Structure 1
Amino acid sequence: MKTGIKIVTIGGGSSYTPELIEGFIKYYDELPVSEIWLVDVEAGKEKLGIVGGLAKRMVEKSGVPIDIHLSLDRRQALQDADYVTTQFRVGLLDARAKDEGIPLKHGVLGQETNGPGGLFKALRTIPVILDICRDMEELCPNAWLINFTNPAGMVTEAVLRHSNIKKVVGLCNVPIGMEMGVAKLLDVEHSRVRIDFAGLNHMVYGLDVYVDGVSVKNKVISLIADSEKSITMKNIEAMGWEPEFLQALNVMTCPYHNYYYKSGDMLKKELKNYEEGGTRALVVKKLEDELFELYKDPNLSIKPPQLEKRGGAYYSDAAVRLIHSMYTDKKDIQAVNTMNRGAIANLPFESAVEISCVISKDGPKPIAMGELPVAVNGLVQQIKSFERVAIEAAVTGDYNTALLAMTINPLVPSDRVAKVILDEMLEAHKEFLPQFNVHEYSNQ
C-alpha cells in the first residue's frame, strides 16, 4: 500500500529546484512527501545531476525521510504521482536569448513572456505541456498539475481547452512578490497583507490591498509611484510612475505593466542593453553558470542565497504553500491561474485567469471580483484575445494564425513588422517547432 506523497518535477534540472526542495523540507510535518522525482531531458542531464546531488544533500542534512530520484524517463517518473510540477524551458536559455534579441533588432520589445518573445515561448511550450498531459491521463489520472512554466497563463488555458486534465493550477511568483513588496513597504509581516488579485498572468491587478483586513490601497498607490519604492522583480527595472496616473487608475499594478504603460521607455532601455551586448537572457545565463558552480560543491547542503538574484524569488513559498493548502484543505486565499468560472464578469467563463482563490482539497475556487474597472478592462481583453489566438497557433501550427496572434499583440506596431519578426523567429526556433512547416514560410 502506498504511503506518503509522490511529487514529480518536470524540468528538475532547473536552478529553481533547490527552492522547491527547501519548501518540501520545511513543510514536511504537515505535507509528508515520501519521494520526489526530478525529471529532465537528455540536454539537461548534466544540470539534473548537479541539482539532484544538492537536493539529496539538503534532504540528508534535514533528516526528513524523502527519497530523491533523478530520471530522464518521464513516463517512469509519472507513474502514480500525486502532484506533478512543471518548470521546464524548451530550447533552454539560448531560445530565450533569441526571443529577446530578434524583436529588438526590429525595434520591438524583446521579453520572455510579453510580445513576440511571449508568443514564441508559448509556441514551443504548449505542445510539450499537452504531451505531458497525455502521459498524466494514462499514468496518474488523479494527480494535480501545478505549472510554473511560462507563459503560465497561456499554458494553463491550453491545458484547460486542449487536454482532459482538469486538475491544473498555473502558478506565478508575481502575486506573492507583490504581497511581500507591500509588506516591506509598510514594514509589516507578510501574513498580515492581503491583495484582491484579478486579471491575467503577468497582467494582474491588485483591485484592493489590505493590512489586517483594512484597506490600505490609497497609501500603497501613493508610495509605489516613487521609483525608489516601486514593487518590481529582479528582471524588471523599476522606473517609477506618474502619481496622477496611478491615482486615476486606482488599482495596484504589477511589474509587467511597465511593458504596456511605459512601452517607449522600456524599449529604449532594452535597446540600450541589447546594443551593449546584454539582454536579460545573457545576464541569467551568467547567473545560472555561477549558481551551478555553487551547486557542485559537495559541502553545500542548503539553498544558496544567490538564487534570489535569479528572478524566481518566493517560488518555493508559492509552489509548496499551494500544495500544502490543497493537501491539508486549508481554505486560505492565494492568487493562482485557474478557470474563471464567472469570477471576473467581463472575461469568458472557461478562460484561464489569475485571481485570488480559496485553496482547498478540491483545488482553487476563484473569488468573485465582479467586472474589471473600465480603465484596465480593455488591455486585459486585448491580451486575452492574443492568448487565445496564440494557443490556437501553437496547437495547429498554422502560420496565418501565428501571424494574427503576433499582430494583435499590443507591443507589435504593425502586420508588416509582425510578419518580418515571425518569419525570422520561425526559422531561428525551427528545431523546437515541429508543428510548423518552417520551410514553406521562410524567405517570403
Structure 2
Amino acid sequence: MNKFSIAIAGGGSTFTPGIVLMLLDNLDKFPIRKIKFFDNDADRQDKVAKACEIILKERAPEIEFIQTTDPEEAFTDIDFIMAHIRVGKYAMREKDEKIPLRYGVLGQETCGPGGISYGMRSIGGIIEIIDFMEKYSPNAWMLNYSNPAAIVAEATRKLRPTSKILNICDMPIGIETAMAEIVGLSSRKEMDIKYYGLNHFGWWTSVKDKEGNDLMPKIKEHVAKYGYNGAPGELQNPEASWSDTFTKARDVWAIDPDTLPNTYLKYYLFPDYVVEHSNKEYSRANEVMDGREKFVFGECKKVVEKGTSEDCGLHIDEHASYIVDLARAIAYNTKERMLLIVENNGAIENFDKTAMVEIACIVGNNGPEPLVVGPIPQFQKGLMEQQVSVEKLTVEAWAEGSYQKLWQAISLSKTVPSVSVAKQILDDLIEANKEYWPTLK
C-alpha cells in the first residue's frame, strides 16, 4: 500500500494537533510516510510542532516530520496539502467581529462584513499556497478548509480555475452528527442525505437511514422544540455561543419547515437578534483566544516540558476525519459521496452556473463529480442569489483593487441595513486591514 506525504499549511493553528492525532488514528486506512508543517509564523508553529513531533515519535516513529517556513522545503514531494490558514490570526478576527458591531451590524467570522474582511485577507494566502503546490508538487491535491470557505472557493474558481483544490467545510458534518444523535444512530455515516446551498448557507431536503426510512419527520419534531441541541437534561454544546446557535435553528427552520437549515442562516435571517445578543467588548474571537487557543498552546507546552504526550489533554477533532475520508476518496478512488463546494455548472438547474455551491459529489481520483440537485424553490434561490453576488463582488474587488465593488459587496449583504452603514464599516475595515488587503481605489 502506498504511503502518503502530507503538508499541513497553517502548522501553528490551534486545530493542527487535532489533525495530527486524527491522521495517526487512521493510519490503517490512510498510511503516511511524511508530515510537514508550514507556517509563516515560525514562533507560533514551533510551539505546536515540538509537541506534535513528540507525539509522532511515540506513536508512529517511522513517519518523517519536518516543520519549516520555507515553501520549497514544505511543498516538495507532497501528495496532499491540508490547508487551514488564518491570515491575521485571532487578533484580526476580533476586529472583523467588533468593527461592524460599532454600527449595529453583526460581527461574525464568516458572515456579513466580518466574513468579507476575512475573505479579503484569505484570498492572497490561499492563491500563494496553490502556486507553491503547482511549482513544487504539481500532482498534489490541496484539501482546503480555510475560512471563509465560500469566498475562498470563488477566488480559486476565478483566479486558479485549473488547480487541484477541493474546498470543504465541516459545519454540515457537525449538524449531521447532531441529527444522528436525535434519531438514535451511532454515526452520521448511517444516514443518506440530500443538501444544497452555498457554504454556511444551505438546507437539507432529505435525511434517510440506510434502509431508506425517512428520518426528516423525527428530526423536524426535535428541531421545532430544541433546534439541534439536546432536550433539557441531555447533552448541550458546552460553549454558550454555539449552544445558542444550535437552539436558534428552531426559529430558522420555522420559515421553511419543508427543509432542515444550516445553523449559519441565523446570521442572515435574524441579524437583529444576533446584534442584540452580542457583547461589543467580548466577541467570539475573545472566547476562542481565552478558551481553545490557551488550552491548545498550554497542552503543547506541557508535552514539550514533560517530553511525553502521556496524560495530555489534546484530542482528535472528530470532524477532521472528514478530511481523511476525502483524501482516501482521491487516493483510492472510493467514489464516496461527500459534500463539497464546487462550481454549480447546472447541478442546481435554475441557478448561476458559475456559482460555487455546496452540494453532494461523488469523489474519486479525478476529483469530485457533482450530483444533480434540479430546480430549487424561490425562497432559497432569492437568498442564494443575493449571497453569491456578495461573494463574487468581494473576489472581484480583491482582484481589481476596487473600492466600489467592495462597497457594493458589503451593501448587498443581508446583514447590513443600508449603503451608508456599509461605507462606514468598509472605511473602518480598510484602516484595520492595511497590512493585509490589496490597496483599493
Percent of pairs with identical residues: 29
Residue 377 to residue 164, structure 1, CA distance change in 2 (3 Å): closer
Mapping of residues 44-59 of structure 1, within 5 Å:
44-59=41-56
Tell me if structure 2 keeps the 8 A contact 1:176–1:314: no
- 2-side partners of 1:161 and 1:199: how far apart? 19
Q: Which residue of 1 aligns with 2:395?
A: 391
Deviation at 1:335, TM superposition (A): 0.9
Mapping of residues 80-95 of structure 1, within 5 Å:
80-95=77-92
Deviation at 1:431, TM superposition (A): 0.9
SS in 2 for 1:430: coil
Mapping of residues 245-264 of structure 1, within 5 Å:
246=254, 248-264=256-272
- 1-side partners of 2:110 and 2:252: how far apart? 28
Q: Which residue of 2 aligns with 1:70?
A: 67
Mapping of residues 153-192 of structure 1, within 5 Å:
153-190=150-187, 191-192=189-190
Deviation at 1:127, TM superposition (A): 1.6
Q: Which residue of 2 aligns with 1:404?
A: 408
1:297 aligns with 2:302: yes
Residue 349 to residue 229, structure 1, CA distance change in 2 (3 Å): closer
Tell me if structure 1 keeps the 8 A contact 2:183–2:218: no
Greater mean alpha carbon deviation, residues 374-383 or residues 87-96: 374-383
Deviation readout 1:276-307 (Å, 9 max, x if unpaired): x3100001011202220111112452796576
- 2-side partners of 1:302 and 1:324: how far apart? 29
Mapping of residues 13-412 of structure 1, within 5 Å:
13-41=12-40, 44-63=41-60, 65-190=62-187, 191-212=189-210, 213-227=212-226, 229-230=228-229, 234=239, 235-236=241-242, 237-238=244-245, 239-240=247-248, 246=254, 248-270=256-278, 273-274=279-280, 277-287=281-291, 288-298=293-303, 299=306, 301=309, 313-412=317-416
Residue type of the partner of 2:140?
A
TM-score (norm 2): 0.91
Tell me if structure 2 keeps the 8 A contact 1:31–1:324: yes
Deviation readout 1:74-97 (Å, 9 max, x if unpaired): 232112321112111111101000
Residue type of the partner of 1:319?
I
Deviation at 1:146, TM superposition (A): 0.8
- 2-side partners of 1:103 and 1:6: how far apart? 42
Deviation readout 1:245-281 (Å, 9 max, x if unpaired): 63744111011011122222111111xx22xx31000
Residue 201 to residue 218, structure 1, CA distance change in 2 (3 Å): same
Tell me if structure 1 keeps the 8 A contact 2:302–2:312: no
- 2-side partners of 1:184 and 1:305: how far apart? 25
Tell me if structure 2 keeps the 8 A contact 1:136–1:143: yes
Deviation readout 1:206-252 (Å, 9 max, x if unpaired): 11111223221122122112236448975532344567963744111
SS in 2 for 1:338: strand
Residue 242 to residue 155, structure 1, CA distance change in 2 (3 Å): closer
SS in 1 for 2:86: coil
- 2-side partners of 1:324 and 1:303: how far apart? 30
Greater mean alpha carbon deviation, residues 133-142 or residues 16-25: 133-142
Tell me if structure 2 keeps the 8 A contact 1:16–1:307: no
- 2-side partners of 1:241 and 1:76: how far apart? 45
Residue type of the partner of 2:176?
E
- 1-side partners of 2:252 and 2:52: how far apart? 48
Tell me if structure 2 keeps the 8 A contact 1:407–1:418: yes
- 2-side partners of 1:407 and 1:247: how far apart? 24
Residue type of the partner of 1:196?
K
Tell me if structure 1 keeps the 8 A contact 2:252–2:265: no
Greater mean alpha carbon deviation, residues 230-239 or residues 143-152: 230-239
Residue type of the partner of 1:428?
A
Deviation readout 1:59-112 (Å, 9 max, x if unpaired): 222236211210011232112321112111111101000000000011001001
SS in 2 for 1:225: helix
Residue 243 to residue 410, structure 1, CA distance change in 2 (3 Å): closer
Residue type of the partner of 1:30?
K
Tell me if structure 2 keeps the 8 A contact 1:25–1:64: no
Deviation readout 1:186-209 (Å, 9 max, x if unpaired): 111212122212111100211111
Tell me if structure 2 keeps the 8 A contact 1:183–1:193: yes
- 1-side partners of 2:439 and 2:315: how far apart? 36
- 2-side partners of 1:304 and 1:193: how far apart? 34
Deviation readout 1:103-133 (Å, 9 max, x if unpaired): 0011001001000001111111112211222
Q: Which residue of 1 aligns with 2:233?
A: none
Gaps of 5+ in 2: 231-235
Residue type of the partner of 1:38?
F
- 1-side partners of 2:377 and 2:181: how far apart? 27
Residue 321 to residue 242, structure 1, CA distance change in 2 (3 Å): closer
TM-score (norm 1): 0.90
Residue 392 to residue 205, structure 1, CA distance change in 2 (3 Å): same
Gaps of 5+ in 1: none
- 2-side partners of 1:385 and 1:184: how far apart? 36
